[in-house]
Structure 1
Amino acid sequence: MTPSRIAERRRQSPWTGWRLSLIVLGFLVFVAVVFVVYIRSADAEYRVEERAAIAKAKQEAGLKKIDSVSKHVWDDSVWVVEGKDASNTAWFVWERQDGSVKEKVADGLSEDGIRDRFKADRPGKKIVRLLPGWFSEQPAWEIRYIDNPDSKRQAIVFYSFKDGTALKTYNLVS
């Protein structure tokens, strides 16, 4: 054979630039889809419980508009639903395994009120997280804060929802 015939019979590599780009793009799309499916499945149980808490608050507590929903876990797991009824009155509903507790927002300390109370009790401390919860068999506010800025040590304090009295403080060791 002459060299010209060999050159004619040689085939080009199947891994040309555009084919390789197409394979890499397909792999990246596959990874993205797998990631989204994983995140949705990991979060699915929480979202089902959240929707059940909202439905229960609407049905049993008569809420028409839901403003916020959060899960508080301490001694008990409690879903806290904040919303308004048909007369536009703001309510908190604490949903526990043994029943629900419904309180008007106006009858207790609001989020801003509990912030002010905390700042008066512990001036200069930075709040990391503030959420409604359940502590000592009563509705409460949980505040997680930085107790010592030098060591970044944190603490948790519980306040009564009704009157804002400090219930208990836990110092977290890091």
Structure 2
Amino acid sequence: MKFARYSSIVVVIALLIFAILGFDSLRTAISEKNERQQSAIKAAQHYSDIKQIEHVYTYSGVDSYDVVIGISEEDERIAVWVPRLHITKSNKLFIRKLEDGIDEQQAIDIVTNKLETKKIVSVTLGMENEVPLWEITYIDSDDSYCYYYVSFDGGEFLKRYCI
């Protein structure tokens, strides 16, 4: 009887420790993402004429970018792709007017019109090999977790894979 009681106490303490460690890890990850996005916003403000920030997408593909969406000094909506690594000649920042490409809803429509999707999980603006793109993550009719990539410029299919 005493063994069961002590075992229960040990299990509760262990679960409490794991919960605290898990919460701390989550808090750290969120904090790091927020810091990275703030750094991307500062870079976008420094290297472009963005004056008002609307949204920041975080893209982790072959190349990793934080994409800052906002309003320019000319009152145009723009996207600024800020590489996660330091900005260099080979790892540069890209700026595009949003009107020059398809928007998030158009990217979703391309996927939902071509494929049988159960649920759109997320839509992220990103870039690979200097090609701006939309990454649409979804659950397909077979309950597979899938990624579909279309170009920002015209919505052309780039690649797709499911896991």
> What SS class does the counterpart of residue 141 from structure 1 fall into?
strand
Give the residue type in structure 2 aligned to 1:164: G
Tell me which residue corresponds to 1:163: 154
Counterparts of 1:111 and 1:138 in 2: how far apart (Å)? Answer: 16
Matches within 5 A, 1:1-174: 38=24, 40-96=27-83, 97=85, 98-149=91-142, 152-172=143-163
CA RMSD of aligned residues (A): 2.2
Deviations 1:150-170 (A, max 9, x none): xx2121111000010010001
Alpha-carbon contact 2:107-2:136 (below 8 Å) kept: no
CA distance in 2, matches of 1:120, 1:58: 37
Runs (5+) with no aligned partner, structure 1: 1-33
Q: Any conservation in 1 of the 2:58–2:124 contact (CA below 8 Å)?
A: no
The structure whose Rg is larger is: 1
Say which structure, 1 or 2, has more relative contact order (CA 8 Å, 6+ apart): 2
TM-score under structure 2 length normalisation: 0.75
Determine if contact 2:63/2:129 at 8 Å carries over to the other structure: no
Judged with a 3 Å threshold, the aligned counterparts in structure 2 of structure 1 residues 126 and 45 are, in CA distance, closer, same or farther, namely closer
Q: Is the 8 A contact 1:158 1:168 kept in 2?
A: yes
Gapped regions of structure 2 (runs ≥ 5): 1-19, 86-90
Query: When the two structures are superposed, what TM-score results if normalisation uses the length of structure 1?
Result: 0.70
Name the % identity.
29
